[in-house]
Every structure is written in C-alpha cells, then in structure tokens.
C-alpha cells in the first residue's frame, strides 16, 4: 500500500466515522440509548486517530519528497530548504483542508473529554454538530480536493513552495490562524447544543468561556504573527493594510472579543443571553465567510495563495451555516430570554454593552468596505478599490472610542455606579491624559489625532494601573511590601487581572499602530557601496552586496552598517532579495534594527549593479511595543484561563 492510498483510505474512514456519529447521536437521543450515544462519541474520538494518521501520511510524503502525489509535487521541490517540507502540508488548498480537519478533530476530542457533567444532556447534540462540521471538510477533500491525488508518471522534481511562504512565520501564522477560525466551531456548537437542550443558563457557561478564550487567543496570536510576518518582508504591504484576507481573519476575532466580554455579563447578571447567541452565530458565519474569501472568493487580495475553484462550495456552506443559525435561533428564542435588564447607563454592564457595540460596529465597517467593490459594481456599475485610507478614517475613531471604554469600564460597578465614585476613580487618569494632550499639542507638529490617541492610551493605562495599585494597597496588611501584594492580587482574581494584562497588551499594540501611522518617515534612495545616507537620528551605510546561487533561487544579500550622528556603530544589519526563477517572483526581506523608540527599516527593493542598489528606508516609531504586546497577550490569557475553580471542585 502506498502512502497516498493509505492517506486517502483514512480520509474515507473518517468520513464514515463522521456520518456514523451524526446519525447515531441523533437516533440515540430519540430512543435514549446510552450505548449508542457512547459509541458515537467514541467514533468522534476515533476521527482524531484517522485524521492524525492521514496528516502523518502527507507530512511523510513531503519529507520523503514523494512526487507521485500531485499536492506534494505542487508545493515542494528537491532544492527547497528541507525545513519547510515539514510545514509545506498546509501551504496549499487541499493540504490546508486536511490540516483544518485535523484541528477540528483535536479540538472536538478535548472538548468532549473535558465536558463538565452539567452539560451531559447536551453532549449528543455537541457530538453530532462537531462531526457535521468535520464531515464538511472531509467530504470536500474526498469528493473535490483530495490531497492524496497521484500522477501516473512520477515527475523527477516538484514545483517548490510558494516563495512568499518560505519564511519563519510559516511555522506559526497559518496554522494558528486556520486553527483559530476552524475552532470557533467549538464554542458555537457548545452554545447550539445548550440552546437545544434548553440549558443556556449558567450551567456550563464557564466551559463556554474557557473554550472561547482559547479560540480567541489562538486567533489573536495568529493575527499578530501574520502582522509581524507581513512587517518583515515586502510584498504583503506592511504590518496591516486591511487586505481582504486580513479582514476576514480580523472580523471573527472582533466578534469573539465582544462575545468573551458579554459572556461575563451573562455569568454575573443573567443578561445578554439572546445577544450572546447572536454573537457566537455571527462569529461562526464570519469564520465561514473567511474560508470562502480565502478559497476562491470574488475579492482581490495580495495573499489569496490558497486560491482554488472551491469558492462556491464554501459559499454554499456559509449560507447553509447562516440558515442553520437562523432556524436554531427562531425555534429557540423563547428559551434564551434574559433575567435582568440594564439598570443604569453608568454600570459595568452598560460599559460591556458599549464595548460590544463598538466591536460590532468595527466589524460592520470592515465588512462593508470589503464587499463595497462588489456592491458598487452591481448597483452603480463602477469599479472601485477600497483600501487602507477608508478603513483608517472610519475605523480609527471607533477603535479610539473603544479603547476609551476599555479605560472607563473597569471603574464602573455592576448595576449602578455613583457619580462620586466615578469622579474619584477617574480624576487622576483624566487629568494625566489632559496634561499629556496639552504637552503633545504644544511640542509636536503632528496631526491632532496622534496626540488624542496617545492621551487616550495614557488614560486607559493609568486607570488600569491605579486600580491595580489601589487593590494591592488594600491587600497590604501587616507590612507586606506593596509590590508583593501587587502580584498576589493577580492570583486572587485571575479572571480580572488576566483581563487587565490582556488590555495592557492591546494598548501596546495600539501604541505601535499610532507610532507607525502618525510618526513614520519613509524615503526611496539609490545607494552605492561606501555611501552614507542620513535619516532621522541615523546614518546608514551600504557595506557590501553578496550573491548566493542555489538551484531554485538567487539570493542577493545587502549588508548595512548603522551609526548614530556621532559615527558610533549601532548595528550591522542584513536585508535580502531572493529571486525564484520558476515562480518569476522575488521575496524581499527587510533589514531591521529595532529598539523601543523606533525601528530603522531598510528594504533592498532593487539591485542596479554589483555596487549600487535601490532601497526604501523608513523609520517606524514604537513598533517594538506592538510585538512585545504578543507575549503579554498570551500571558494575560493564560492567567485568566488558569483553572482554579476546576481544581477546587475536584
């Protein structure tokens, strides 16, 4: 048996397991047969094994360069860097479907394994919904996009991986982003099955929150890594250009962000039930929309590398999901009424409501910009492009307002806040923000929006810190140093302070965005060896140009030395421009010298001769903080996820 036929057989096996567990679970609920239900659950567990082996087959085929498989032929070659053969399995359409299927089965496995007992009634529905979702992907692979399709005549060498993907980011960004989008199905199916059993109350809500936080953080980290990837190379337009493919990843994340906030309100106050159901449905449908756009959708993008003719299948699935959600919602809307209402505009719950409102608004603006070219084509018969300026001008202010709410929200108490409390809590932060605003306004000549954004950041970060410090002083009794109680506080209320840490990470990302949007300097220059160019506080000198020839690519490496105005050496940095003849494509890596104040960023855009080249030099202030935000984001999420309640119960 060849690897390809083994892999395909395993896919067919998975297909049957899925069908069995869907139909079996539904029948099992009808006839209340526990044995059947258990067997269906086990069938769902088995998909982890079959798909895991199938993935192993494909990876094995890549690593052993088995070019009898078309997919391996299309996405690898003998001369490619061997390290990428391990990850080339998700470089194209078919393989990434297999990867997504595998992730769904892994996630379903753990979801079912750790399912709390209060959700036992919902389990059969959960099994069938998850299997149904997996069935779609496996079905598409078996019928339309088989990753194990073979050639009659085995070619000697493959085409090679898309040059743009030969980057360290390939190991983290695509797998995390795809995993994040695919696993939105987990909180989605949990909630659908809870709604089915009429149990969308507080039972199991912690579990929904845990899974949502996990999914949300995976997606968030995936997005940030993509941003970092796009930042380090030329071709994807910079850290964030509101490209359609970026947008379809961002939208579900925004909605999930709204969801993980409003689920807190449901847990604490029994409110927002209907709204939470709507949000998770929206997130799920938007994730399907993302897959549709990514796989042959009608919108032009820089990185639709996984483009295929499967667009309409995914469109169909998205429409199916939307109709499914609508029916579930209409049939069960009486079961999900809220217990309470918002009592006051000055309350924690209304702050959450406003936060949700802004997040949905940003999502809507993004979606509208994404589909507007199609709308304009149909209704006005005009072809237009909607690029970054639209999104920045419309989303920018809304995001700023959202950050503002993020600062005020934690100062409001549940139900109703007294004006007096609010005043004492906000007096210091607001006055600090105002002072900073005035100083910035006087000392810099930048647009007013930049000073405003920085002041809002100041406001938010100081509210968080003041609240934190106050808490730790309260905890300080009997001479415990306040900085020890500062950390003790985190352990006492992990949800809250984990949340604060995540908020701080978002602020750091925002700081980077503000820096690059309002303070960037960028110039095109021609530079010869030995020549020095002055920019900002730096002098950049081209030291040498090296050529490296490989079978599949020609690398040109430019080395620059960076000195300060006093000619003291700061660093030596390299940028490269790699041309792949078989793709007729160049992959250009920037030379970056990064510090907390600013990045000196040099793109070797074109080599004119052996000693002369064109470069784009820019100074990107505060970007360093954006990438620091990533680890802090993960830290914060981990702290909020750390299971203290679970341990106590057991």
Partner 1 sequence: MGKSIISSKIIILLISFLFILISCISNTDQTNNREYNLFSQIMCPICDGQTIAESQASIAEDMKKMIRDQIKDGKEDKEILKYFEERYGQEILSNPIPKGFNLTIWIAPILIIIISSTITIYSLRKNMGTRSNNDSF
Binding positions for partner 1, 293-352, rule CB under 8 A: 300-302, 304, 339-345, 350
Closer residue to partner 1 (CB): 190 or 440: 440
**Options 114, 364, 487, 550; binder of partner 1; rule CB under 8 A:** 364
User: 3-state DSSP call for residue 453?
Assistant: helix
Return the structure tokens found at 210.
């845990």
Alpha-carbon dihedral 252, 258, 263, 266, rounded to 10 degrees: -140
Q: CB of residue 128 vs partner 1: minimum separation in angstroms?
A: 33
Query: Of 65 and 267, which CB lies nearer to partner 1 in the complex structure?
Result: 267
Which CB, 12 or 428, lies closer to partner 1? 428
**Among the residue ranges 155-163, 382-390, 546-554, 631-639, the one whose residues contact partner 1 (CB under 8 A):** 382-390
Q: Are 297 and 307 in contact (CB under 8 A)?
A: no
Angle at 260 (CA atoms; ends 259, 264), nearest 5 degrees: 105
**Cβ 536 to partner 1, closest distance in Å?**
2
CB 294 within 8 A of CB 310: no
Contacts (CB under 8 A) with partner 1, residues 251-290: 269-270
User: How far, in Å, are 22, 35, 45, 189 from residue 128 at the CA level?
Assistant: 4, 15, 12, 9
CB-CB neighbours of 549 under 10 Å = 7
C-beta of 153 vs 381, nearer to partner 1: 381
Beta-carbon count within 10 A of 127 CB: 30
- Least distance from C-beta 603 to partner 1, angstroms? 10
Binders of partner 1 in range 21-80 (CB under 8 A): none
Cβ–Cβ under 8 Å, residues 572 and 544: no
The distance of closest approach from Cβ of residue 523 to partner 1 in the complex, given in angstroms and rounded to an integer, is 4
The one among 52, 237, 316, 396 contacting partner 1 by CB under 8 A:
237
Smallest distance, partner 1 to C-beta of residue 433, A: 9
Residues 6 or more apart in contact with residue 203 via CB below 8 angstroms: 118, 119, 194
Task: For residue 376, state whether it binds partner 1 (rule: CB under 8 A).
Answer: yes
Cα(30)–Cα(40) distance, integer angstroms = 14
CB of 77 or CB of 257, closer to partner 1:
257
- Could you give the string, one character per residue 535-564, with x where binding to partner 1 holds by CB under 8 A and - elsewhere? xxxx--------------------------
* Between 128 and 462, CB nearer to partner 1: 462
Angle separating helix axes 448-475 and 388-408, nearest 10 degrees: 30
Give pairs for 533-537: CB < 8 Å, separation 24+.
533/617, 535/600, 535/617, 535/619, 536/598, 536/600, 536/619, 537/564, 537/565
Smallest separation (angstroms) from partner 1 to the CB of 602: 14
Binders of partner 1 among 500-539, rule CB under 8 A? 515, 519-524, 535-538
Name which of 376 and 495 has its Cβ closer to partner 1. 376
Helix H or strand E encompassing 599 = strand 598-607
Stretch of 142-150, 280-288, 454-462, 633-641 contacting partner 1, by CB under 8 A: 454-462
Q: What are phi and psi of 414, to 5 degrees?
A: -65, 155
In the region spanning residues 588 to 617, those forming contacts with partner 1, defined by CB under 8 A, are 588, 596-598, 605-606
Q: Which is nearer to partner 1, 383 or 419 (CB)?
A: 383
Q: Are 506 and 604 in contact (CB under 8 A)?
A: no
The dihedral built from the CA positions of residue 440, 445, 451 and 454, taken in this order, carries a sign that is negative
Which of 423, 470, 546, 645 touches partner 1 (CB under 8 A)?
A: 470
Q: Which of 66, 94, 243, 552 binds partner 1 (CB under 8 A)?
A: 243
What token pair was written down for 451?
A: 């000073």
Q: Are 489 and 471 in contact (CB under 8 A)?
A: yes
The contacts of residue 337 (CB under 8 Å, 6+ apart) are 273, 274
What minimum distance in Å lies between the beta carbon of 158 and partner 1?
Answer: 24
- Among the listed residues 100, 234, 291, 408, the single contact to partner 1 using CB under 8 A: 234
Alpha-carbon distances of 535 from 156, 483, 513, 516, 559, rounded to whole Å: 50, 42, 21, 16, 17
CB of 241 to partner 1, least distance (A): 8
Number of H helices, E strands in the chain: 19, 10
* Interface of this chain with partner 1, residues 385 to 444, rule: CB under 8 A: 385-390, 394, 398, 415, 428-429, 432, 435-436, 439-440, 443-444
Contacts to partner 1 from residues 124-183, by CB under 8 A: none
Task: Pick the closer one to partner 1 by CB: 99 or 259.
Answer: 259
Q: Name the minimum Å distance from CB 391 to partner 1.
A: 10
- Rounded CA separation 587/579 (Å): 6
CA distance 404 to 512: 17
CB of 340 to partner 1, least distance (A): 6
Nearer to partner 1, 21 or 587 (CB): 587
Per-residue contact string for residues 202-231; x = within reach of partner 1 by CB under 8 A:
------------------------------
Q: Which of residues 617-636 bind partner 1 (CB under 8 A)?
A: 619, 621-622
Pick 360 or 641: Cβ nearer partner 1: 360
Check: CB of residue 365 under 8 Å from CB of residue 357.
no
How many residues touch partner 1 (CB under 8 A)? 87
Stretch that binds partner 1, among 83-91, 206-214, 463-471, 548-556 (CB under 8 A): 463-471
């Amino acid at each position: 048996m060849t690897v390809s036929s083994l892999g395909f057989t395993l896919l067919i096996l998975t297909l049957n397991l899925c069908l069995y567990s869907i139909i079996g679970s539904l029948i099992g609920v009808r006839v209340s047969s526990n044995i059947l239900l258990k067997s269906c659950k086990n069938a769902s567990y088995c998909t982890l094994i079959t798909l895991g082996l199938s993935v192993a087959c494909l990876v094995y085929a890549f690593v052993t360069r088995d070019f009898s498989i078309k997919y391996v032929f299309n996405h690898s070659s003998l001369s490619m860097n061997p390290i990428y053969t391990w990850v080339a399995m998700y470089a194209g359409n078919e393989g990434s479907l297999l990867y997504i299927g595998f992730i769904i089965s892994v996630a379903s496995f753990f979801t079912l394994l750790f399912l709390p007992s209060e959700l036992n009634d919902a389990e059969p529905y959960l099994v069938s919904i998850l299997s149904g979702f997996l069935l779609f992907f496996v079905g598409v692979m078996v019928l339309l996009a088989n990753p194990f399709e073979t050639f009659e005549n085995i070619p000697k060498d493959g085409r090679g991986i898309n040059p743009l993907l030969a980057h360290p980011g390939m190991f983290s960004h695509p797998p995390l982003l795809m995993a994040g989008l695919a696993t939105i199905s987990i909180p989605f199916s949990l909630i659908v099955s809870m709604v089915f059993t009429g149990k969308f109350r507080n039972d199991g809500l912690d579990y929904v929150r845990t899974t949502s936080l996990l999914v949300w953080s995976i997606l968030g980290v995936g997005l940030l890594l993509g941003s970092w990837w796009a930042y380090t190379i030329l071709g994807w337009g910079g850290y964030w250009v509101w490209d359609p493919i970026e947008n379809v990843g961002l939208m579900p994340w925004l909605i999930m962000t709204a969801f993980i906030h409003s689920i807190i309100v449901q847990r604490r106050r029994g409110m927002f039930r209907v709204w939470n159901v709507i949000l998770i449905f929206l997130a799920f449908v938007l994730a399907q929309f993302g897959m549709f756009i990514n796989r042959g959708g009608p919108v032009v993008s820089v990185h639709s590398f996984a483009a295929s003719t499967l667009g309409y299948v995914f469109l169909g699935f998205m429409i199916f999901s939307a109709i499914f959600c609508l029916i579930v919602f209409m049939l069960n809307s009486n079961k999900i009424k809220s217990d309470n209402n918002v009592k006051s505009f000055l309350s924690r719950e209304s702050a959450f409501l406003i936060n949700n409102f802004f997040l949905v608004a940003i999502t809507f603006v993004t979606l509208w910009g994404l589909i507007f070219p199609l709308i304009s084509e149909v209704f006005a018969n005009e072809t237009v492009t909607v690029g970054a300026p639209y999104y920045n001008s419309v989303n920018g202010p809304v995001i700023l307002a959202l950050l503002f709410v993020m600062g005020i929200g934690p100062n409001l108490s549940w139900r109703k806040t007294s004006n007096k409390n609010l005043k004492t809590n906000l007096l210091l932060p607001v006055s600090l923000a105002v002072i900073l605003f005035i100083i910035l306004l006087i000392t810099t000549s930048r647009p007013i929006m930049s000073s405003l954004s920085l002041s809002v950041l100041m406001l938010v970060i100081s509210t968080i810190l003041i609240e934190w410090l106050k808490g730790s002083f309260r905890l300080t009794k009997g001479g415990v140093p306040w900085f020890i109680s500062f950390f003790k506080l985190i352990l006492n209320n992990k949800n809250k302070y984990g949340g604060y840490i995540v908020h701080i990470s978002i602020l750091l990302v925002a700081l980077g965005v503000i820096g690059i949007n309002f303070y960037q300097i960028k110039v095109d220059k021609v530079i010869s060896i030995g020549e020095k160019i002055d920019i900002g506080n730096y002098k950049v000198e081209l030291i040498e140009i090296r050529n490296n020839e490989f079978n599949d690519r020609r690398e040109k490496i430019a080395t620059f030395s960076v000195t300060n105005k006093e000619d003291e050496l700061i660093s030596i940095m390299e940028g490269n421009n790699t041309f792949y003849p078989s793709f007729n494509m160049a992959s250009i890596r920037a030379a970056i010298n990064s510090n907390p104040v600013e990045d000196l960023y040099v793109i070797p855009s074109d080599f004119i001769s052996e000693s002369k080249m064109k470069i784009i030099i820019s100074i990107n202030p505060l970007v360093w903080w954006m990438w620091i935000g990533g680890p802090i984001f993960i830290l914060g999420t981990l702290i909020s996820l750390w299971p203290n309640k679970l341990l106590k119960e057991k």
